[in-house]
């Protein structure tokens, strides 16, 4: 059969290989949008009140001024992911951001209240999932439907 790929790890299911190959750039765009939207959504609200958001930092053991670093990274990093601009560098930056945010804000094991613990545990594992997405974007790049792709052509 023409659609079978003898190089596939599982030749019986190799029909997925050409489908994946034909949708690579589209799916990279969708993945970037899905990853970026959460950072734009939550970052935008913080961007409108960085000082207020920073006021919560000392209670978590970090100086309030770091909000002026973290919030722009969160918001503009999300925008850059969606646009596919400097994607590999943004993936590295957002990896660091998410690791730090997770370590500071989502230590679910410290909560005794079951509801709060469950919410923080969900956020912790959501962040692990996002780290996987960043790793994939670092390896694959942004794809053709991105500013990186457009700039590469120029």
DSSP character for 3?
T
Residue 6 has what pLDDT? 56
- List the domain range (segments joined by +) for residue 88: 24-144
Asked if 124 and 111 count as a contact pair (C-beta separation under 8 A), the reply is: no
In a domain, 86, yes or no: yes
| Overall number of domains in the chain | 1
Q: What is the pLDDT of residues 90-136, one digit of tens each?
A: 999 999 999 999 999 888 888 889 999 898 899 999 999 999 999 99
Q: Which of 64, 150, 99 is nearest to 141 (CA)?
A: 150
In a domain, 132, yes or no: yes
In a domain, 19, yes or no: no
In a domain, 74, yes or no: yes
pLDDT class of 11 with cuts at 50, 70, 90: confident
- C-alpha–C-alpha distance, residues 44 and 30, integer Å: 21
- C-alpha–C-alpha distance, residues 77 and 70, integer Å: 10
pLDDT class of 18 with cuts at 50, 70, 90: confident
Residue 1 has what pLDDT? 43
In a domain, 87, yes or no: yes
DSSP character for 59?
G
pLDDT class of 3 with cuts at 50, 70, 90: very low
Q: What is the pLDDT of residues 35-89, one digit of tens each?
A: 999 999 999 999 999 999 999 999 989 999 999 999 999 999 999 999 999 999 9
In a domain, 90, yes or no: yes
In a domain, 7, yes or no: no
In a domain, 1, yes or no: no
């Amino acid at each position: 059969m023409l659609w079978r790929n003898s190089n596939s790890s599982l030749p019986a299911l190799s029909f997925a290989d050409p489908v994946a190959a034909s949708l690579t750039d589209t799916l990279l765009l969708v993945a970037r949008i899905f990853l970026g939207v959460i950072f734009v959504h939550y970052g935008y609200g913080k961007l409108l009140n960085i000082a207020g958001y920073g006021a919560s930092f000392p209670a978590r053991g970090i100086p309030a001024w770091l909000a002026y670093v973290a919030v722009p990274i969160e918001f503009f990093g999300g925008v850059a992911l969606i646009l596919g601009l400097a994607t590999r560098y943004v993936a590295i930056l957002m990896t660091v951001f998410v690791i730090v945010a997770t370590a500071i804000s989502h230590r679910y094991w410290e909560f005794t209240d079951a509801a709060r613990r469950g919410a923080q545990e969900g956020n912790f594992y959501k962040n692990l999932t996002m780290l996987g997405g960043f790793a994939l974007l670092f390896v694959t790049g942004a794809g053709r439907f991105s500013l990186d792709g457009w700039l590469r052509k120029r």
